[in-house]
Structures are given as C-alpha cells and as structure tokens.
Amino acid sequence: MILAIDVGNTNTVLGCLKGDHIEFTLRIRSDRDKTADEYLLLIDGLLRNQGVDPASLEGGILSSVVPELRIVMKNAMERLTGKSFLAVGTGIKTGLDIRTDNPAQLGADLVVDAVAALAKYKPPLVIFDMGTATTIGVISEGRNYEGGMLLPGVNVSLEALSRRAAQLPAISLQHPKVLIGKTTEDCMRSGIVYGTAGMLDGVIDRIREQFSGRTLSVVATGGNAPVIVKYCRNKIVYDKYLLMDGLWAIYQKNK
C-alpha cells in the first residue's frame, strides 16, 4: 500500500492506495505556515486513526501546486514512513508529450489529471479541474498535452463578489433553488452556478471545433465539479478520484 498526496491551494487530499484500489481518502487544509514536524504529527495521527501504521507503507507520491509545501510535505512523509517519496515534477516519467511553450510551467495537478484521464477515457480529451482555480487541459491523440485555459474558481469568484460589492452577502456554493432568483442570495447562487455551467458549455463547444469530426471526451474533477456539472448541457463525466488514479499510474511508471 502506498500513500498518495495532492497538495492544492486550499486543501490537501491524502489517499492510501493498494493496487489500483483506493482504500480511503482524507482531506486537510493546506497550511503554508505548518512545518514538516507539524505535518508529520498530523498525518501520523490521521493514518493511525484509519488503522494504518505509516511504517508499513511501501512508499508514496505527491503532487503540489504550492511550491513551498512540496519540499515540506516530502520531507515530512519520508521521515514518517522511512521510505522515499516521489514528487511529480521535472524528471518524473509520465508518458505525456507536453506541447506547451514552457513544459516546466505546467502544474503538477494538470499532469496527474492528464495521465489518469488518458488511462480511463478516449482522446481527444478536455479535463476540467474545479478547485481554487478552474483549470482546463486539452489532450489530443498520441498522449499530446496541447495546452489549456485557467480562470478563477467558483468560490474565488463568489468571495470576490461579496467583498467588492457592499450589499452582497457571503454565500456558500450550493445547488440553486431556481433559475431566476427572487432574493439576493438566490440570484447570486443561480448566477454563479448557471453562469459557470454556461461557460463550461461554451468552452467545450469551441474546443470541439478544433477537433472537427472526432468525438471529444469531457471529464471534470475537483471539489466544485459535482455542483456545476449537473447544470451543463454537454455530457461531462464527473470523476471524483481522477487525481488519485493519476498519482497511482505515475508511481507505477517510476518505482
């Protein structure tokens, strides 16, 4: 069994993987101020609460979009388990042909998403990862990562709206009650959900034009995806464990 860790801007997801089976996942807040000692103690307790002795793990892999936590978390996990941990980045085998102008700039989460999606879905592929940011990756046949798009995440947009508009309250992301709101909260919720869904539909339609005559597979993952995907008109597969599957696949390629 290995430990897979995805460090995001807001949350960090930990998963224990045995074969290609996910035993369990845990979620903690990504805290840039925590030291390796603090993460070691926190994750040690979480794993033991699940009945897992960290020393029994054969190793692990992590991806991080927070540069300062990449080293902190790697050091903490190597001390906790006594095993080497892979970190997704330069020098790691992925099997992708990254065709961006500067491949080193491509986020580790996007690389992991792409590897998992290619193992599970037929290209050409569009991948939406909906977390703190909404990232869009486009993969063509031949395992070619062509590029993508990047925009503020749903919660970031909601927070900016309530902070910059004096009369708008802070609200959480929930399914809207109606399309046309009758209260301020309902208008905001309907606007962000249907507006984001419409944006995804528009992006999919435009990307589909780039692959004329071919069937486009569309996958969504990330914490905000379940709410938004429901209201899209295009067929989008929601894949909760895409990142975990990708980390397992990359671990297998590099162990």
Tokens 């703190």 belong to which residue? 132
Assigned token pair, 244: 């975990």
Active site (annotated) includes residue 109: yes
Residue 179 CB partners (closer than 8 Å, separation 6+): 190, 194
* CA separation for the pair 245, 176 (Å, rounded): 31
For residue 17, the cross-strand partners are 2, 22
Sheet of 125-130, strand order = 97-98, 144-152, 133-140, 125-130, 217-221, 237-238
C-beta separation of 77 from 85 below 8 A: yes
User: For the chain, how many helices (H) and strands (E)?
Assistant: 7, 11
Rounded to 5 degrees, φ, ψ at 141 are -60, 155
Give me the amino acid identity at 191.
G
Q: For 28-75, give the secondary structure using H, E and C.
A: EECCCCCCHHHHHHHHHHHHHHCCCCHHHCCEEEEEECCHHHHHHHHH
H helix intervals, 82-176: 108-120, 154-164
Active-site pick, 6, 109, 113, 245: 109
> In whole angstroms, what separates CA 127 from the centre of its chain?
10
* CA separation for the pair 199, 204 (Å, rounded): 9
Enumerate the active-site residues: 109
